[in-house]
Amino acid sequence: MEEKTTFSQKFSALSNKLFGTTPNDGDIQPKEGWSYSICGLGQNFICTVIGSYLTVFMTDALGFNINTQVGLLNGVYAVAILMLVVRIFDACNDPIMGSIVDRTRTKWGKCRPYLLWMAIPIAFMTILCFLPWYSKDIVGFIAVSLVYVVWSVVYTVADVPYWGLSTTMTNNTTKRGNLLTIARLFCTAGAGLVTILVPQITAAVTRDYKLNIDGKEYVNPIFAEQNAETLKYTYFIITIVLVALALPMFYIGFKNTKERCGTIEGNQKLPSLGHNLKLLFKNKELMLIVLSGILGGARMVYTYTGGLYFCKYALGDEGAYSLLTMLVVPGGLIASVLCPWLTKKFTKKWSFIGSHIIGAIAMVVMLFMWDFEKAELRGTAGLVVCVICLLFIGIPQGISNIMSYAMIGDTVEYLEWKTGERAEGICFAMQTLINKIGMAVGAFIGVLAYGMSGISADDPVGSMSREGMNKLWLMLVLSGAVSFIACVIPMFFYTITEDKQRWLVEQINLRKAESEANTEVSDTENA
């Protein structure tokens, strides 16, 4: 009699297929892949609430906007500069943290322990960022700025080793690509949930303080103070809930993963920061990825704070930000799922290049869907075209989210082949550096566009103008189009193919085998 296949067996078979793993073969197993991905989900709850909403919290809730002064600066420009400076400072910390990871030696490995050690500090500092009691003056601005600086350092201490962990779990480029595909899908889901739900909540709780003008909702100047006060506590409570959900996910990622590659032997010399930085610049393939990432920092600027400001004021519908960000999800998900097939068919490099050319074309088309005479979209047709363009823009976003990590993983083997040293920490620090520069540029351009538009959070209707709306649209869309085009250029010079990566691993293994054989011969002769 044939035995029935249980759900557990079916799920196990599916998991092995998704991650490309073989049961009990000594390499990465599905439980590790799921746990690693769940950790990424929680991590993105925290990263997204800070990256997408701290600026709005400061301008529209705390009141550092066009109507206030922070020292010599207008409030909104002070926030823009803060976002740029802190996030670039944060990005520059990544190589330092990467070097620390490469020097870390514990019974758990060199990447995993940071998921255990840093979960609570990250949770604590995230909540402090959204405290509702900061004063609306230079003292309050300095206070929230200092908290944000500390948060950025604490978050980096876990973020760099999290991504470096993928290369210590396996050196098989196919399995690692599958792992990163699933993990990035979970990360995207975490970011998407926060991006979709938060504007819906804030729009709902502040609705009583708004005027409805032709179906658009704007803050009533009479209730501006009550609106800001409600926003303060709403963001604070949302952050506490997200932190409570994310905290156990860090521990799941720590507990159920295993490091197999790049472990530090007891007699192995630990690399210094200076040594690691020299290694970094010897990895020319990695430097091309970094340059591409920096040039592409503004490609998704409209999905950051600027998009929320646009929906809130130009469209008069804060909740529309949820729809705006959801539109890129289908294309991104499809592209993410197809990444293994695209890699096999076209390679990572050409999949990246082709998808970003599609994104650039879509952005240019969107640019002309705005009527600059009326300072609004060109009717229903313009709206439909923009929706279609956003769907296409999701494709490069999905591919970049996965393939850039996988390509950096391949450069680790390239570096080991070239120098004999892997340096996962410093290499993957470059991916987090790219991400943070993107967040820095996105937040800066978004808040800068908000300031240039001249919109007052306390009196939107009375402060909006045609020129201001046009500036807002141009800043968000044109910067994205230019960034899409620019980030493609360095990738034409990237040379690591999937076949070359496998050859690199073979050469590394042969070199290790020869070294071990020579050591055994030497020991025998000495005996």
Domains and CATH numbers, the chain: 30-257+272-511 (1.20.1250.20)
3-state secondary structure of 260: coil
Please tell me the predicted confidence (pLDDT) of residue 289: 95
DSSP string covering 166-224: HHHH---HHHHHHHHHHHHHHHHHHHHHHHHHHHHHHHHHTGGGEEEETTEEEE-GGGH
Please tell me the predicted confidence (pLDDT) of residue 269: 64
pLDDT in tens, 170-213: 878 788 878 888 998 898 889 889 988 999 999 999 999 988 88
CA angle at 322 for the pair 319 and 324, rounded to the nearest 5°: 110
Question: Do 129 and 236 contact (CB within 8 A), yes or no?
Answer: no
| Residue that wins the pLDDT comparison between 131 and 451 | 131
Distance of CA 292 to the CA centre of its chain: 15
Average pLDDT over residues 262-279: 69
Q: pLDDT tier at 264 (50, 70, 90 boundaries)?
A: low
pLDDT in tens, 92-135: 888 888 888 888 888 888 899 999 999 999 999 999 999 999 99
Please tell me the predicted confidence (pLDDT) of residue 521: 66
Give whole-number Cα distances, 512 to 53, 166, 175, 268, in Å: 49, 22, 22, 15
Range 123-133 burial, b when 16+ CB lie within 10 A, else e: bebbbbbbbbe
Q: Which residues is 210 bridged to in the sheet?
A: 219
| Average pLDDT over all residues of the chain | 87
CA angle at 135 for the pair 51 and 242, rounded to the nearest 5°: 35
Question: Do 76 and 64 contact (CB within 8 A), yes or no?
Answer: yes
d(CA 255, CA 264): 20
d(CA 59, CA 54): 9
Please tell me the predicted confidence (pLDDT) of residue 439: 79
d(CA 67, CA 77): 11
Residues ≥6 apart with Cβ < 8 Å to 62: 134, 136, 140, 144, 228, 232
Give whole-number Cα distances, 226 to 136, 207, 311, in Å: 15, 11, 21
- Is residue 54's pLDDT more than 90? yes
- Is residue 14's pLDDT more than 80? yes
Please tell me the predicted confidence (pLDDT) of residue 122: 96
Please tell me the predicted confidence (pLDDT) of residue 37: 95
Q: Beta-strand (E) ranges in 63-186?
A: 69-70, 73-74
Tokens read off for 211? 């005027």
With 0.85 as the threshold, say if the pTM is over it: no
Tokens read off for 344? 């096999």
Flag the least confident range among 258-267, 330-339, 468-477, 497-506: 258-267
Q: pLDDT tier at 1 (50, 70, 90 boundaries)?
A: very low
Question: Do 418 and 157 contact (CB within 8 A), yes or no?
Answer: no
- Is residue 386's pLDDT more than 80? yes
- Is residue 3's pLDDT more than 60? no
Measuring CA to CA, which residue among 146, 156, 123, 121 is closest to residue 45? 123
Distance of CA 345 to the CA centre of its chain: 26
Measuring CA to CA, which residue among 236, 1, 21, 264 is closest to residue 134? 236
3-state secondary structure 25-39: CCCCCHHHHHHHHHH
Measuring CA to CA, which residue among 183, 214, 482, 250 is closest to residue 360? 482
Q: pLDDT tier at 287 (50, 70, 90 boundaries)?
A: very high
pLDDT in tens, 416-443: 999 988 777 778 778 778 888 887 888 8
Please tell me the predicted confidence (pLDDT) of residue 367: 92
pLDDT in tens, 461-517: 888 889 999 999 998 899 999 999 999 999 999 999 888 988 998 998 898 888 777
3-state secondary structure of 432: helix
Please tell me the predicted confidence (pLDDT) of residue 526: 66
d(CA 222, CA 209): 8
